[in-house]
Amino acid sequence: MTLDQRQLRTGFGRFATGVTVVTCRNSAGEPHGATVNAFTAVSLEPALCQVTLTRSSKACGYLADSPFAVNVLAANQLDTAMHFAGRPQDPGPRWGTGPTAPVLLGNAATISCLPWRTYDGGDHLIVLGEVVDLELTNAEPLLFYAGRFRNLGPADDGSHWAVSLDCPEIGWFPAAPAAV
């Protein structure tokens, strides 16, 4: 069975994601970045995250065994997302120096990584990074859904997780079941 690539892309696009720019240094040592929404947490111990890049992208070639940063874009960084998606903006992005690689300024979060492993992902390369530094802000994240950039809507109406065993305030899936 062969799936229609457009339909597959549309189906994948039904999953809302955050928007990141993966930054590293190019072969000349200059800062380089690529807009990536294929990002996920992998492990807490060791602290690992994953980015997935198109094999034909320049960033894919620069990330082989190189330190990198995952810049989780804030809602007001749409121009930054566009810049690194191949639509240069003027003015360009604001750069800073991170502990492992160049970073962008103004992010919702910045996750600095050392290379861990890479895996074949078909027409993509799956890159795992060991998180060695994390910077957080209170900025709302930029989102991507159904082929468009989005922002978070208003907070929920007060319904609460407490009715669920998975309440984030008491911990996702406690390590040990409660004694009976």
For the chain, give the percent of residues with pLDDT over 90: 51
Complete domains list, the chain, with CATH: 8-153 (2.30.110.10)
pLDDT of residue 96: 97
Please tell me the pTM assigned to this model: 0.82
DSSP assignment of the chain, as one string? ----HHHHHHHHTTS-EE-EEEEEE-TTS-EEEEEE--EEEEEETTEEEEEEEETTSHHHHH-TT--EEEEE-BTT-HHHHHHHTT---SS-PPEEE-SSSEEESS-SEEEEEEEEEEEEETTEEEEEEEEEEEEE-SPPBEEEETTEEEE--PPPSS--GGGSTT-TTT-SS-SSPPP-
pLDDT at 63: 82
Lowest mean pLDDT among 23-32, 96-105, 171-180: 171-180
What is the average pLDDT across 151-168?
66
pLDDT at 164: 63
Q: Does position 178 have pLDDT exceeding 70, yes or no?
A: no
